[in-house]
């Protein structure tokens, strides 16, 4: 079963020192859900406007793409899928003095 | 020994089936027993499904202790690639045209409009065989998949 990421681990080592950070993403998810509920009337208005104006033909493709993805259930689902696929992502870049490490668990 | 295997051996002992038939039946049972595992863990080709795409940049031989060389280690879940491609399928045709044009300018002949979900699965399965090694005097770049 797919699950959203729980923790994001960020480590930045520089000349000035170390900066380790554990971001509890599971605490941010209820906030994101709350934000989605608050924004849902605006999303609904945007969907209605887009439909009435022929899906915003006069808008630039980039704006249309962004609005289209935001204002569709498929878009929200696809974005959630991307979020749920993130656990396991790891980026580690380092040289003599610096290191950037990002891991999503 | 399973019940079916016993039955086959009994039939062989009672000379109801020949040795060849018993051998074929036992093999068929083995394949059947292995099928559930392969259908969950492996793709249609029988190979295990790739889990992560790894990109690694390490210092080349003779430069292992050279701290000026950047070491890069990236692990991208294949499921993230799959979800990202699905997300890109929501792009309107005009945006896809722009992306295709931009890729073409960079020398990549990939038509975003022709990418279908079935093609995506084929591409992901084909990642199993992906292995890129670029070895230079200073750096070794490796792109491969992890199961």
**A24-79 tens-digit pLDDT:** 988 888 888 898 889 888 877 877 777 676 655 566 666 666 666 666 677 778 88
Q: What is the pLDDT of residue A61?
A: 62
Chain A residue numbers touching B68 (CB-CB < 8 A)? 95-96
Q: What is the pLDDT of residue A18?
A: 87
Joined tokens for residue A74: 């498929």
Please answer yes or no on whether B77 and A65 come within 8 Å at the CB atom: no
Comparing alpha-carbon positions, the chain B residue that sits nearest to A84 is: B80
Q: What is the pLDDT of residue A11?
A: 93
Assess whether pLDDT exceeds 60 at residue A88: yes
Nearest Cα residue to B53 out of B139, B136, B141, B131: B131
Chain B residue numbers touching A90 (CB-CB < 8 A)? 73-75
Mutate to test the interface with A, among B58, B86, B90, B145 (most CBs of A within 10 A): B90
Q: What is the pLDDT of residue B40?
A: 43
Q: What is the Cα–Cα distance from A6 to A65, expressed in whole angstroms? A: 29
Please answer yes or no on whether A64 and B92 come within 8 Å at the CB atom: yes
How confident is the prediction for chain B on average, in pLDDT? 78
Q: What mean pLDDT comes out for the span B114-133?
A: 79
Chain A residue numbers touching B75 (CB-CB < 8 A)? 88-91
Residues A64 and B95: beta-carbon distance below 8 Å = yes
Q: What is the pLDDT of residue B59?
A: 87
Q: What is the pLDDT of residue B37?
A: 43
Comparing alpha-carbon positions, the chain A residue that sits nearest to B88 is: A78
What angle is formed at CA B69 by the lines to CA B67 and CA B70, rounded to 5 degrees?
Answer: 105
Q: What is the pLDDT of residue B25?
A: 78
Q: What mean pLDDT comes out for the span B126-133?
A: 83
Residue written as tokens 């045209």? B97
More confident residue, B110 or B30: B110
Residues B77 and A88: beta-carbon distance below 8 Å = yes
How sure is the predictor about B138, in pLDDT bands with cuts at 50, 70 and 90?
confident
- Interface list for chain A against chain B, based on CB atoms closer than 8 Å: 61-62, 64-65, 68-69, 72, 74-75, 78-79, 81-82, 84-96
Please answer yes or no on whether A68 and B94 come within 8 Å at the CB atom: no
Q: What mean pLDDT comes out for the span B48-63?
A: 85
How sure is the predictor about B39, in pLDDT bands with cuts at 50, 70 and 90?
very low
Percent of chain B scoring above 90 in pLDDT:
10
């Amino acid at each position: 079963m797919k699950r959203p990421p729980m923790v994001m681990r960020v480590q930045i080592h520089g000349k000035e020192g170390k900066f380790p950070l554990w971001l509890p993403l599971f605490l941010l998810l209820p906030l994101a859900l709350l934000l989605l509920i608050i924004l849902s009337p605006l999303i609904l208005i945007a969907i209605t406007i887009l439909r009435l104006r022929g899906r915003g033909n006069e808008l630039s493709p980039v704006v249309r793409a962004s609005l289209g993805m935001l204002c569709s259930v498929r878009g929200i689902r696809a974005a959630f899928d991307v979020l749920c696929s993130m656990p396991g992502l790891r980026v580690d870049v380092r040289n003599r003095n610096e290191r950037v490490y990002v891991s999503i668990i | 020994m399973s019940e079916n295997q016993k039955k086959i051996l009994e039939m062989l002992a009672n000379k109801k089936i020949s040795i060849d038939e018993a051998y074929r039946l036992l093999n068929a049972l083995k394949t059947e027993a292995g099928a559930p595992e392969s259908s969950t863990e492996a793709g249609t080709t029988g190979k295990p499904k790739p889990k992560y795409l790894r990109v690694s940049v390490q210092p080349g031989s003779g430069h292992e202790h050279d701290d000026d060389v950047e070491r890069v280690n990236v692990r991208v879940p294949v499921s993230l690639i799959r979800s990202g491609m699905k997300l890109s399928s929501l792009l309107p045709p005009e945006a896809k045209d722009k992306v295709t044009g931009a890729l073409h300018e960079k020398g990549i002949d990939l038509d975003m409009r022709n990418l279908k979900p079935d093609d995506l699965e084929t591409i992901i399965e084909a990642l199993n065989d992906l292995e890129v090694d670029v070895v230079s005097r200073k750096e070794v770049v490796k792109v491969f998949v992890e199961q």
